[in-house]
Structure 1
Amino acid sequence: MSAVMTPKQQAQVSQQPSPAAQHGRRRISRRTLWWGAFALLLGLAFLWVYPFIWMLSTSLKTPGEVFGGGLGLIPEVMQWENYRRAWTDGNFSRYLVNTVIVTVATTVLVVVRCALAGYVLGRYRFPGSRIIIVILVATMFVPTGYTIIPVVHLSMSLGILDTHLGMILALAGGSHVAFILVYAGYFRGLPKELEEASIVDGAGFFRTFGRIMLPLSMPVTATVSILTFLFTWNAFFLPLVFSFSNPALRTVSVGMQAFVGENSTDWTGMAAAGVLSMLPVVALFAFMQRYFVEGIAGAVKS
């Protein structure tokens, strides 16, 4: 016998939405949630990027607009003169060349040294290897201020205090423990058959490292190169000490101080110099972004 619904039950059934209507509501709800998250992330991204936009805007303003224009970002008239003043009068062209020389040389030294140390610690087991790792990790907690005095004293003894070479060796001579451990973890995960095949072919230690292991670690090398480049490009303390008696050796971070006077500060010239110093870093990261992400992912997996 078929069940007969009462009028009250029929009214309840008629009030329930159809499956198509329920699916449409869920779709609208998900779309609303997605747009809300997108708007939130867009607002956070704008807050993060705003200082860079403000610096770019300030580099094209007059000093009066900087302090009297409020939060406005669009200059009344583009003041390209600020860039000319920063490049020539502020001697920023020389500082940029110094920074490129110091940064590239330091990055190469750090990559080679950390890759070799990571290769040995990651692929070989020898007495005292764990003690070496513990000592390296302990050096991470030593502030830079405690090491600057022996670094300067050693540089003076070698006669390289006021030279590019001294600055490069001082910047590249740090422990860089994180980079060594990243390389060690990556090399430890590579198959041992690679080294065995290389030995059978008659390759020695350095040939195996240079022709097989180092090319395989390209994602990690890209990550270490970018981080070292950023650190060295923005370094201030060591370049300041090594160029204190020789202003011609200043880097861009130290050269920014040239826009700060005793009674006033050239904010527009400093902003223009900041934009010029930021362009090479942005170009490098845009070029090596894929390798950087792959290196970080590989370090996390290892």
Structure 2
Amino acid sequence: MTAIHERSEQTQRAARKSRWFRRIPVWLGTLVLLGLAAIWIYPFLWMLSAALKDPIEVFSAGLDLLPKDFRWDNFRRAWVDAHFGQYLLNTVLVTIATVIIVVVRTAMAGYVLARYAFYGRKVVLAILVATLFVPAGYTIIPVVDLAARLHLLNSIAGMVIALSGGAHVASILLYLGYFHRLPRELEEAAIMDGAGFLRTFFSVMLPLAGPVTATVTLMTFMATWNAFFLPLVFTFSRPDLRTLSVGMLAFVGENSTDWSGMAAAATISLLPVVTLFILLQRYFVEGIAGAVKS
């Protein structure tokens, strides 16, 4: 009995040792990922720290993240003196309107390209993919010229049309891939119930594409929220219509730059984006995965 007990203990110790060795790669991988995460998140933490520092301390403190004195007044200057409250409202209006237009337009385009076989379909797809290689800067001049001819410069509506009127090829391809793998019986059942194209699309197909819609919403939100060149051109003579990204110029003077005020303004600008990404992160991954599977 004693020998059997000793062999049992040896077997258990060997099993524990084996499990410990198998966990070493997992621990090493975790340490590497934690290090990469720390490197990735450090600039954001530095920006938060700079937003609470004195302008001189921003650079004199080096890489130190802890401010000597917490200067909450930097946020007041950004919100009140630099008019970031108005800029935030403008950005919210432009972003929400742009997201709605882009989601509906790209979803409908992806649906038609995925479910209908029409003459020239492959040519349309080729042109869409080709536009991915066209630098965005090349389109600013014709867009601004067209907006000026239509008297849309210096207006929120003009910015929305300019930002939502692009190809948004990635969003179209995401919807195309997702709709392509849905069964045809869904549309056939809707048609049997007397539904037309629009009712089938809005009542049946678009609700099923919820993960892709969340992905496109997040992508469009981030692109519109951080857009700079088009809002800058559209608000040259109307500073009150500036968005948050353009409003950053208020902290840049001819001889100096208010770095702590700019950091506070950047923190205000990033909080909505970070919050939305946290809320939609799961749907973002599902939308990408669902479109790629097809």
| Smaller-chain TM-score bracket | over 0.9
Distance 1:287 1:262 in 2: 40
Distance 2:119 2:25 in 1: 58
Structure 2 residue 118 is the aligned partner of structure 1 residue 126: yes
Structure 2 residue 106 is the aligned partner of structure 1 residue 99: no
TM-score (norm 2): 0.94
Q: 2:276 aligns with which of 284, 287, 302?
A: 284
**Cross-structure match for 2:160:** 168
Report 1:79-158 matches (<5 A): 79-158=71-150
Structure 2 residue 256 is the aligned partner of structure 1 residue 264: yes
- Counterpart residue identity of residue 77, structure 2: R
Instruction: Name the SS for the 1:76 alignment partner.
Output: coil
Instruction: Name the SS for the 1:293 alignment partner.
Output: helix
**Over alpha carbons, which structure has the higher Rg?**
1
Structure 2 residue 238 is the aligned partner of structure 1 residue 249: no
**Cross-structure match for 2:42:** 50
Report 1:180-199 matches (<5 A): 180-199=172-191
Q: 1:229 aligns with which of 203, 221, 235?
A: 221
**Cross-structure match for 2:288:** 296
> What stretches of structure 2 of length at least 5 have no aligned partner?
1-9
* C-alpha displacement of 1:299: 1.3
**Cross-structure match for 2:31:** 39
Instruction: Name the SS for the 2:56 alignment partner.
Output: helix
* C-alpha displacement of 1:174: 0.6
Instruction: Name the SS for the 1:63 alignment partner.
Output: coil
Distance 2:259 2:50 in 1: 8
* C-alpha displacement of 1:167: 0.6
Distance 2:210 2:179 in 1: 11
- Counterpart residue identity of residue 239, structure 2: P
* C-alpha displacement of 1:24: 3.1
Say whether the 8 Å CA contact 2:159–2:230 is kept in structure 1.
yes
Aligned length: 286
* C-alpha displacement of 1:19: 4.2
Distance 2:46 2:261 in 1: 14
* C-alpha displacement of 1:112: 0.5
- Counterpart residue identity of residue 292, structure 1: F
**Cross-structure match for 1:220:** 212
**Cross-structure match for 2:171:** 179
**Cross-structure match for 1:64:** 56
Say whether the 8 Å CA contact 2:251–2:259 is kept in structure 1.
yes
> What stretches of structure 1 of length at least 5 have no aligned partner?
1-17
* C-alpha displacement of 1:33: 3.0
